[in-house]
C-alpha cells in the first residue's frame, strides 16, 4: 500500500510540474494583463457571473455541486456548474475557477458541446494579470478577492438560448500535512450578498490509517464515520459564504491531537484551536470502557398528563435498555413530592429491568413541581463504585412546590453534588426556567437540551443518551508545561470552554484559547481512562502561527461573548418567585462584562440580539453627532441585556435566548451572517457587517468602513489619509499586498471602502455594480 501511495503521489507531482510555467518562479511587480479577448460573460462558480453587457436576461449561475474525494492526501475536486441562458439568443462565456497551489487539471467538459472545449491552468503570476484585466474591463472589483490564487481558465464556449448548460471541472492536488492533520481548502467568496447560487458540498476521505476526527471551521458538517473512510457533507441550505475548509486528523497511539494557531501581537502571543479526536473503531482494543450509573429523574406533575408522560416513560425505558449489563440505574419521579424506584442505584439485570418497567408503568401525572427536592435527591445518593455517574433530569415546568427560589435551587443542588454527577437537563416546552437548567448542566460537565413543542421527548432523550456510550476520558483537564517540565499558568489563558467535557466514543474535542509569548508550547491533557489516570502531551510552535487561520480568534471571540452574556443572565437570578429576575443591578461587575461584549463585537463583527443595533449606524444610541460612541453603545447593550437576557427567565423568548447562548458557547464553525433565533424562534441574520479574513467591515450608508475606524471615536468622520482610485497601479498593488496577508476580500467590495492599511486610513473608490441572482 505504501509503495502504491508513493507512486501515486509522485505521478501527481509530475502532473503539477508539467502545468507549471517559468513565470510562476518569479512574479513581476506588475503582472502582464491577458492578450486574449475576454468573453462577454465570465463565470466564476465560487462567486458569480461577470458581464460587460447590460442584458436584463443575461447568463445566470444557478447551481454548483462540489464533490471532493481525498485518498491518501491526494484530493480530487469535481465541480458541476449549471448556468442558464433565459434570453432568446445564444451567448458566449468562459469559465474562471480560482484554485489552490499544487492543483492540476484532470478534466473539463460541457454537456452537449460539439466543439473543442479546453481549460488552461494559470499560475498565480499569470493569474494576477488576468484578474486585473477582468476587473478593469468589467468595472467590478469582485475578482480581487481571489488575487494571489492560481486559476483555471476555459476556452470561450456558446450557451444556447432559453436553455441550461452543465459544465464539469475536475482538478487534483496534493494536500499538505501538518503532523497528523491534513487540510483541504475550496476557495469560495466571502461576500454575504450578491448571489443566490445553490451550493452542495460533499467530501469523502479515505486513508490507510484510522481517521480520528473530521472538522470544518467554515461550515457545519454531517458525517458518516468509519475507521478509515469518512463521508462529510454540508447540510442542505447550510453552504453559506466563505471558503470551504476541511481538516482531518489521523490516529496515533493514545489521544490524537493537533493545534491551529493565529498570531496576535496585541495580546502578547496569539490564539490557538486544539482539535482532539478519538476514533470509534479503535476503542475496544484500546481500553475497557468505564461503566456508567444513570439516575433518571422524571417530572410527573399535572402538566405532564397525556402524551408527555407516555413519552417520558418511553424515554426512560430506552435509556435502561441502552445500558450494558452490569451498569447501574435508578429512577426518581417527582411532583410536589419525590419518590424513588430504589433507595440506591441497582445493577442492570433481567430482574431489575422487569421491575423498572412495571414501576414506570405505574407513574401517574398530577400535582406541583418540586425541582429543588428532586435534584437534591438525585445528586446526594451514594454512587456505585468505579462508575461514571450521570443524571438525566426532565421537567416541563417552573418550580411550583417546595423551595422555588432559582438561586437556592441552582446553588444548593450544585453544592450537594459532592459526587460530581453529570446532570443532563431536558426542558420540555417553553414553560421552563431556561437559565436555571442551562447552568445546572453546564456546571456539572453536562449539557442542557431543549425539547420544543411538537418534538418527541423519547427521541430527544435517547438521541443524547446514545452519544454517551462508553466514556473514554472522563474529567479531562488541560495544562501548559514550561521549559523546566513544570505546570505553568503563564503560557495560556482564556480557555473556551474553561472545563473540558467528558469524551465519549467517537467524540472530538475543540478547545480555543490564547497563548502567551513566542517560545514553543507544550500542552498536556489528562483524565480518567477506564479507571486509570492517563496523560497525553503534545506541543506547537508559535513560529508556525498563520494569518490564514483567521477563523481561530473569531471562534474564540464567539464563545467568549456567549459566556459573558450568560454570566450577566445568571446574575439576574432572584431568590423569590420562580421565573422572575433580580435585575442586572444585582451584579456590580456587569458594566465591565458589557464593555467587553461591545469591544469584542466591534472587533470581530460578532453581533447578537443584544448588540444588533451596532450594525445600524443611524441609531442614536450607538452614534453621536461625530460618530461611534462607546459609552452609549455599552448603555444600549446593557439595557437590551436587562430587558431580554435577565428579565426573560421562561417562555418562548427565554428558550430562544438559551439556544442562542448555548450555540455560541460551543461554536466550532463560522457564522458570517450573525444568524440567531429571535423571540418567536425565527431565524434572523445581518448583512450590514462582513467578517473578511481577520478583519471586520461595517456598512455605513453607501460606504463600507473598517471596524478599527468605526471603533475609534470620531475617526469615522475624519478625512482619509490616502485615496486610491479604482484601476490604478496603486489600487492593484494594494490589493496584492493585502492578499499576501489574507485580506484580499477587503478590496473586492463594491462601492466606497474605507479601511486601515499599514496604519493609515485609506479610502478606496470601487465602482458600484448591482449584483442580482447569480449575475
Host H or E run for residue 633 = helix 630-640
Are 677 and 591 in contact, with CB atoms under 8 Å apart? Answer: no
pLDDT of residue 427: 93
pLDDT of residue 256: 87
The Cα–Cα gap between 557 and 11 comes to 43
Are 290 and 213 in contact, with CB atoms under 8 Å apart? Answer: no
Burial of 112 (0-12, 13-18, 19+ CB in 10 A): exposed
Residue-wise pLDDT for 727-745, tens only, equals 999 999 999 999 888 898 9
For residues 186-199, average pLDDT? 79
pLDDT of residue 32: 56
Residue 286 pLDDT level (bands cut at 50, 70, 90): very low
Are 76 and 100 in contact, with CB atoms under 8 Å apart? Answer: no
The Cα–Cα gap between 208 and 227 comes to 9
Residue-wise pLDDT for 398-444, tens only, equals 999 999 999 999 999 999 999 999 999 999 999 999 999 999 999 99
Q: Is the pLDDT at 627 greater than 70, yes or no?
A: no
DSSP 271-286: EEEEEEE--STTHHHH
Average model confidence (pLDDT) across the chain = 86
Higher pLDDT, 554 or 770: 554
Q: What is the dihedral of CA 626, 631, 636, 639, to 10 degrees?
A: -160
pLDDT of residue 194: 54
pLDDT of residue 195: 59
DSSP 150-170: EEEEEPPEEE-TTEEEEEEEE
Residue 620 pLDDT level (bands cut at 50, 70, 90): very low
The Cα–Cα gap between 492 and 488 comes to 8
For residues 118-130, average pLDDT? 89
pLDDT of residue 102: 86
Q: Is the pLDDT at 460 greater than 70, yes or no?
A: yes
Residue 566 pLDDT level (bands cut at 50, 70, 90): very high
Residue-wise pLDDT for 23-56, tens only, equals 232 333 445 555 567 888 899 988 888 887 665 5
The Cα–Cα gap between 672 and 144 comes to 20
The Cα–Cα gap between 333 and 341 comes to 8
Are 696 and 603 in contact, with CB atoms under 8 Å apart? Answer: yes
pLDDT of residue 740: 86
pLDDT of residue 37: 78
DSSP 58-96: --EEEEEEEEEEEETTEEEEEEEEEEEE-SSS-EEEEEE
CA angle in degrees (0–180, nearest 5) for 253-259-265? 155
pLDDT of residue 583: 60
Residue from 466, 541, 538, 536 nearest 506 by CA: 466
pLDDT of residue 14: 40
pLDDT above 70 as % of the chain: 87
Residue-wise pLDDT for 484-521, tens only, equals 888 889 999 999 999 988 888 778 899 999 999 999 99
Are 49 and 60 in contact, with CB atoms under 8 Å apart? Answer: yes
Q: Is the pLDDT at 8 greater than 60, yes or no?
A: no
The Cα–Cα gap between 182 and 72 comes to 10
pLDDT of residue 343: 93
The Cα–Cα gap between 116 and 19 comes to 20
The Cα–Cα gap between 497 and 492 comes to 13
Peptide bond into 535 cis (omega under 30): no
The Cα–Cα gap between 697 and 595 comes to 20
Pick from 246-255, 258-267, 485-494: least confident: 246-255
Here the contacts of 14-22 (C-beta below 8 Å, separation 24 or greater) are: 15/104, 15/172, 16/102, 16/103, 16/104, 16/173, 16/174, 18/104, 19/104, 19/105, 19/121, 20/123, 21/123, 21/126
704 phi and psi angles, rounded to 5 deg: -95, 130
Maximum CA pair distance of the chain? 86
Q: Which residues contact 98 (CB under 8 A, 6 or more apart)?
A: 44, 46, 127, 146, 149, 150, 151, 187
Cell 419525590 belongs to 338
Residue 652, classed as helix, strand or coil, is helix
Residue-wise pLDDT for 552-565, tens only, equals 999 999 999 999 99
Residue-wise pLDDT for 373-386, tens only, equals 999 999 999 999 98
Are 230 and 224 in contact, with CB atoms under 8 Å apart? Answer: yes
Q: What is the dihedral of CA 119, 124, 130, 133, to 10 degrees?
A: 170
Residue from 735, 753, 732 nearest 744 by CA: 735
Q: Is the pLDDT at 771 greater than 60, yes or no?
A: no
Are 670 and 242 in contact, with CB atoms under 8 Å apart? Answer: yes
Are 250 and 180 in contact, with CB atoms under 8 Å apart? Answer: yes
Residue from 183, 162, 346 nearest 260 by CA: 183
Residue from 195, 206, 197, 202 nearest 216 by CA: 202
Host H or E run for residue 465 = helix 457-467
Residue-wise pLDDT for 60-114, tens only, equals 889 999 999 999 999 999 999 999 999 888 988 999 999 998 899 999 999 876 5
Beta bridge partners of 232: 203, 223
| Global pTM value | 0.91
Amino acid at each position: 500500500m505504501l509503495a502504491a501511495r508513493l507512486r501515486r503521489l509522485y505521478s501527481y507531482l509530475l502532473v503539477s510540474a508539467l502545468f507549471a510555467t517559468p513565470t510562476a518562479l518569479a512574479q513581476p511587480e506588475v503582472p502582464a494583463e491577458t492578450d486574449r479577448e475576454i468573453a462577454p460573460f465570465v463565470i466564476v462558480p465560487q462567486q458569480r457571473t461577470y458581464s460587460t453587457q447590460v442584458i436584463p436576461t443575461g447568463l445566470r449561475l444557478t447551481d454548483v455541486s462540489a464533490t471532493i474525494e481525498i485518498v491518501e492526501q491526494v484530493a480530487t475536486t469535481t465541480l458541476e456548474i449549471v448556468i442558464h441562458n433565459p434570453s432568446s439568443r445564444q451567448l458566449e462565456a468562459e469559465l474562471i475557477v480560482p484554485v489552490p497551489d499544487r492543483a492540476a487539471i484532470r478534466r473539463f467538459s460541457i454537456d452537449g458541446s460539439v466543439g473543442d472545449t479546453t481549460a488552461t491552468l494559470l499560475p498565480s503570476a499569470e493569474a494576477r494579470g488576468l484578474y486585473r484585466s477582468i476587473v478593469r474591463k468589467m468595472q467590478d472589483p469582485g475578482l480581487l478577492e481571489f488575487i494571489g490564487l492560481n486559476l483555471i481558465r476555459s476556452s470561450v464556449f456558446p450557451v444556447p438560448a432559453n436553455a441550461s448548460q452543465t459544465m464539469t471541472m475536475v482538478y487534483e492536488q496534493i494536500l499538505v500535512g501538518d503532523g497528523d492533520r491534513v487540510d483541504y481548502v475550496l476557495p469560495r467568496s466571502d461576500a454575504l450578498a450578491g448571489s443566490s447560487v445553490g451550493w452542495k458540498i460533499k467530501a469523502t476521505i479515505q486513508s490507510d490509517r484510522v481517521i480520528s476526527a473530521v472538522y470544518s471551521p467554515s461550515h457545519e458538517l454531517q458525517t458518516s464515520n468509519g475507521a478509515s473512510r469518512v463521508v462529510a457533507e454540508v447540510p442542505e441550505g447550510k453552504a453559506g459564504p466563505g471558503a470551504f475548509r476541511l481538516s482531518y486528523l489521523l490516529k496515533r497511539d493514545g489521544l490524537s491531537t493537533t493545534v491551529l494557531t493565529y498570531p496576535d501581537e496585541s495580546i502578547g502571543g496569539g490564539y490557538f484551536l486544539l482539535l482532539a479526536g478519538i476514533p470509534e473503531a479503535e476503542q475496544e482494543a484500546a481500553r475497557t470502557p468505564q461503566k456508567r450509573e444513570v439516575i433518571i429523574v422524571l417530572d410527573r406533575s399535572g402538566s405532564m398528563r397525556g402524551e408527555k408522560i407516555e413519552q417520558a416513560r418511553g424515554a426512560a425505558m430506552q435509556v435502561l435498555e441502552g445500558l450494558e449489563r452490569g451498569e447501574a440505574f435508578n429512577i426518581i419521579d417527582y411532583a410536589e413530592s419525590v419518590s424513588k424506584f430504589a433507595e440506591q442505584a441497582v445493577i442492570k439485570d433481567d430482574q431489575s429491568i422487569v421491575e423498572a418497567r412495571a414501576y414506570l408503568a405505574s407513574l401517574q401525572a398530577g400535582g406541583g413541581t418540586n425541582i429543588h427536592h428532586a435534584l437534591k435527591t438525585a445528586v446526594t445518593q451514594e454512587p456505585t463504585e468505579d462508575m461514571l455517574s450521570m443524571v438525566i433530569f426532565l421537567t416541563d415546568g417552573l418550580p411550583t412546590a417546595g423551595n422555588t427560589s432559582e438561586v437556592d435551587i441552582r446553588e444548593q443542588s450544585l453544592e450537594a453534588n459532592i459526587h460530581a454527577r453529570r446532570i443532563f437537563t431536558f426542558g420540555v416546552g417553553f414553560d421552563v426556567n431556561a437559565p436555571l437548567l442551562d447552568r445546572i448542566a453546564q456546571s456539572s460537565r453536562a449539557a442542557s437540551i431543549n425539547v420544543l413543542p411538537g418534538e418527541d421527548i423519547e427521541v430527544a432523550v435517547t438521541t443524547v443518551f446514545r452519544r454517551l456510550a462508553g466514556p473514554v476520558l472522563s474529567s479531562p483537564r488541560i495544562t501548559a508545561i514550561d521549559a523546566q517540565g513544570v505546570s505553568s499558568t503563564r503560557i495560556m489563558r482564556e480557555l473556551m470552554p474553561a472545563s473540558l467535557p467528558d469524551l465519549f466514543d467517537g467524540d472530538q474535542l475543540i478547545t480555543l484559547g490564547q497563548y502567551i509569548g513566542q517560545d514553543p508550547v507544550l500542552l498536556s491533557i489528562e483524565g480518567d481512562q477506564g479507571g486509570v489516570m492517563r496523560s497525553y502531551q503534545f506541543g506547537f510552535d508559535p513560529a508556525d502561527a498563520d494569518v490564514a487561520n483567521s477563523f481561530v480568534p473569531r471562534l474564540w471571540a464567539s464563545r467568549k461573548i456567549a459566556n459573558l452574556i450568560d454570566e450577566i443572565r445568571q446574575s439576574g437570578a432572584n431568590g423569590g418567585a420562580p421565573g422572575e429576575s433580580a435585575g442586572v443591578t444585582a451584579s456590580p461587575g456587569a458594566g465591565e462584562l458589557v464593555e467587553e461584549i461591545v469591544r469584542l463585537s466591534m472587533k470581530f463583527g460578532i453581533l447578537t440580539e443584544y448588540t444588533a443595533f451596532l450594525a445600524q449606524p443611524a441609531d442614536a444610541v450607538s452614534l453621536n453627532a461625530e460618530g461611534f460612541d462607546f459609552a452609549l453603545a455599552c448603555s444600549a447593550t446593557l439595557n437590551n441585556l436587562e430587558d431580554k437576557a435577565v428579565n426573560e427567565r421562561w417562555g418562548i423568548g427565554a428558550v430562544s435566548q438559551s439556544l442562542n447562548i448555548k450555540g455560541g458557547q460551543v461554536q466550532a464553525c463560522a457564522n458570517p451572517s450573525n444568524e440567531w433565533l429571535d423571540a418567536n424562534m425565527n431565524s434572523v441574520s445581518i448583512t450590514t457587517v462582513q467578517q473578511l479574513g481577520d478583519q471586520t467591515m461595517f456598512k455605513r450608508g453607501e460606504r463600507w468602513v473598517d471596524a478599527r475606524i468605526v471603533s475609534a471615536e470620531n475617526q469615522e468622520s475624519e478625512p482619509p489619509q490616502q485615496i486610491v482610485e479604482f484601476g490604478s497601479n496603486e489600487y492593484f498593488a494594494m490589493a496584492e499586498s493585502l492578499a499576501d496577508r489574507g485580506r484580499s476580500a477587503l478590496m473586492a467590495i463594491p462601492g466606497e471602502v474605507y479601511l486601515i492599511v499599514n496604519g493609515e486610513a485609506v479610502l478606496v473608490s470601487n465602482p458600484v455594480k448591482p449584483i442580482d441572482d447569480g449575475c
